[in-house]
Chain A
Amino acid sequence: MKQAVRDQLGRIVGVALAATVAWAWFWRPPFSWTFGVLVVVGTAGAAIADGRYALRRIASVIPVLVGVSFVVFALMASLPGDPAINILGPAATADQIAIVRTELGLDEPFFNRYGNWLGGVLTGDLGSSIVLREDIADGISRSMTPTLQIMAYSVVLALAFAIPLGIWAGYRQGSKTDATINNAMLGFLATPNFVLAVMLVLFLSIGGLSVAGNEIGFRVLPAARYVPLGEDVVLHFKHMLLPSLALAMGQAAVFMRLLRSDMIATLRLPFIDLARSKGLPTRRILWRHALRPSSFTLLTVVGLTVGLLIGGALIVEFIFTIPGVGAYIFLGVTQRDFIAVQGGVLVISTLYIVVLTMSDFLYLALDPRLRGREIGARG
């Protein structure tokens, strides 16, 4: 009897807590994205695997997130320098500093401060920036938008290059086509993305080199500035193309080489022989039979790449003057705006973990042999 009541109580408290968090997060941009992605991932996971497994997998993310928040908070708290001095300037008196410290809650013990901050986070409040005097959740979601856009566009572009080329190079292993694709991709792999970014700008947007009064290059794409998607769709993509391309080519090289080597291994398997003996066209064998079982490694690396890019591609964003999340955090660090940095790092690591969870569910979608069996976190 008692046990049953305790079970019910736990469930009620759990649901109430989840409802509070869900309600608080639903309206705030950086949280609502995370929340939305988790819901989508969870639904998909439940559809592919069994629902209880999906729920368990998502629940297992929670302690990780709490751990991450603690590490982030502890790191920020242990940074040298006093934010109060930063706000007041070097001429401030000890009394003034003490007042500001009390206002910011810096006097309280470490765990109280952590508890206050975590409580705010759970209800959708990341605090407000000391330096910019603005709500941090707003700031992060504003700077996160272009970063996530560049991330998505560059990964899609990279896959659009890498998948057909990887399939073809793997199928034609050892041929001239294979060598050509490999060498070209090796070139992109060896070029740092900021070098590629500068070259793209040089040859596609500012007219290239001038030789004896003749331009060797084009002025077809804008070099810099960020245009929000909601403002002008065409202009948005025109501005995003070069930075996305600069990031995509290096990724495409990695993706293509991974897919190529897995394709080579898959194409040697007996089921490919059987598929051939059924009289299927090569195209169908490559895309329908060989691609999916060859894409597990690719999925792992795409997941990691997406995770890394959530943190912003600082240099490329800087070259194209895109106000991304990297720039936001960089500003926070230089200004000792620890609350902003804390919030930014927390949102980024949360999204990273959500993305890795998503790639775990994608494994289930790709490989039915894993379904109904426990899979460990990968990557």
Chain B
Amino acid sequence: MTDTSMTGFAGADEQPLLDVADLRTTFHTAVGPLVAVDGVDWSLRPGARLGVVGESGSGKSVMSRSIMRLLPKSRVTSTGSVLFDGIDMMSLGRRELLDMWGPQLAMVFQDPLGSLNPVMKIGKQVGEGLRVHRDLSARAARAAALDLLEEVGIPEPHRRIDEYPHQLSGGMRQRIVIAIALACSPRLLIADEPTTALDVTVQAQILDLLETQRAERDMSLVLITHDLGVVAGRTDEVIVMYAGRIVERAPTATLFGNMRMPYTEALFRSIPKVTDDSHARLEIIGGQPPRMTDLPTGCKFAPRCKYAQELCVAEEPALIEAPAAADSNDGGARRRGTWRDDDLDDDDNDGGAPAGAHLYRCFYPVGTPEAAEAFERNVASGRVSEAGVVIRAS
């Protein structure tokens, strides 16, 4: 882990495969603009694995579709820059995008039954991309599809190739969706909650399949999930999103070893652990994600946060960088003071945040004495229970 965890982000001398800067996606709804993704910055080195974690509605799916430019044209606007291997995705026309989708970027979707055409044979669906992008004949596409089915671990591919999606199990269907995505050997695969709709027993198999295929093809992978447990050990870097913003970003090992954002901590505590008693009650994150049309002024997580103070409600914390020796908790107050002035949001974030940086968005980061004090104050005022459950929204 220690070594591989450092390979996930673009080094200063290496050209990133994907560079997302200040990406902002707005839905123009009847009740006003809804900013689903609000100024997101990150980059991905060729062959690297990025995890994107957040609850439903945190903007992670919209972000991936904005990067792909798969969102509808009407009533949605995306601004900022998305550079794929130096190509500005935002400036591409329809035709050029069609050439990108498949051979360059591909996507695996959440619902494997819904993502497959119910009235088209599996072999056709797998080979179709090749027919369009590589001008393969029907016969050649079928042969290629057969190979792909074998690669993604479909038993009896000769029989399965002529079956329809409804004849397969959920895990098999997701393997087919992966085969479709892999068909034109994309350089970046975005997997949007690839295991959410699957049985727990199948989830690990699908994730392993994604990993082996990624490694074999030297592909980059963006793994989107609501489950921190999924990205642990399977990604190089993790982004935690809340209300359309990045609230924490760190190399995977750093994140799990030293999470700073209270939201990340809350997500982490809601994962069942093997060491728990079999009937132990899971910790939940109380309340609801904020309504995107009616966001709070300060920190978007403040209403549900057990550390939240008046400052958190009044002012939104900037995405700031943790010092290299983040493990030591001394001098937190001093650091906080300086970081708040240094608003990274206004700078070029990629320039500001070096490779492997640990960024977070909080005034009272987890594990600091300030956070402990804040928590005690909240318990004393009755806003938060001893066990850390938020009783009143702040």
Interface residues of A (CB under 8 A from B): 174, 269-271, 273-281, 284, 288-289, 292-293, 366-369
- Report whether A274 and B119 are in contact in the complex, using a CB–CB cutoff of 8 Å: no
What A residues does B98 contact at CB under 8 A? 279-281
- Report whether B102 and A274 are in contact in the complex, using a CB–CB cutoff of 8 Å: no
Give complex CA distance A276, B98 in Å: 8
Majority-rule SS of A interface residues: helix
B180 within 8 A of A: yes
- Report whether B119 and A279 are in contact in the complex, using a CB–CB cutoff of 8 Å: no
The 7 closest A-B pairs by CB, nearest first: A279-B101, A279-B102, A270-B114, A368-B164, A277-B107, A278-B129, A274-B115
What B residues does A274 contact at CB under 8 A? 107, 109, 115-116, 177, 180
| A369 in contact with B102 given A274-B180, A279-B132, A289-B120 (CB within 8 Å) | no
- Report whether A275 and B99 are in contact in the complex, using a CB–CB cutoff of 8 Å: no
B206 within 8 A of A: no
A373 to chain B, nearest CB (A): 10
- Report whether A366 and B119 are in contact in the complex, using a CB–CB cutoff of 8 Å: yes
Identify 7 new A-B residue pairs, CB closer than 8 A, beyond the known A271-B118, A280-B129: A270-B111, A273-B70, A274-B107, A277-B109, A279-B132, A280-B128, A367-B119
What B residues does A278 contact at CB under 8 A? 101-102, 106, 128-129, 132, 180, 183
Interface residues of B (CB under 8 A from A): 68, 70, 74, 97-103, 106-107, 109-111, 114-120, 128-129, 132-133, 164, 166, 177, 180-181, 183-184
B61 to chain A, nearest CB (A): 11
| A277 in contact with B106 given A293-B117, A293-B119, A366-B119 (CB within 8 Å) | yes
Selected A-B contacts with CB under 8 Å, 14 pairs: A269-B114, A270-B111, A270-B115, A274-B107, A277-B102, A277-B106, A278-B101, A279-B103, A279-B129, A279-B133, A280-B132, A293-B118, A368-B164, A369-B118
A340 to chain B, nearest CB (A): 45
B65 to chain A, nearest CB (A): 8
What B residues does A275 contact at CB under 8 A? 117
Give complex CA distance A269, B118 in Å: 11
Most central of B102, B120, B183 by chain A CB within 10 Å = B120
B116 to chain A, nearest CB (A): 6
What B residues does A277 contact at CB under 8 A? 68, 70, 101-102, 106-107, 109, 181
What A residues does B106 contact at CB under 8 A? 277-278
Give complex CA distance A269, B113 in Å: 11
Give complex CA distance A233, B139 in Å: 41
B96 to chain A, nearest CB (A): 10
Q: Which residue of B68, B129, B164 contacts A369 across the interface (Cβ within 8 Å)?
A: B164
What B residues does A367 contact at CB under 8 A? 118-119
* Minimal Cβ-Cβ distance residue in A for B114: A270
Give complex CA distance A234, B110 in Å: 56
Give complex CA distance A292, B117 in Å: 10
A194 to chain B, nearest CB (A): 39
Give complex CA distance A368, B167 in Å: 10
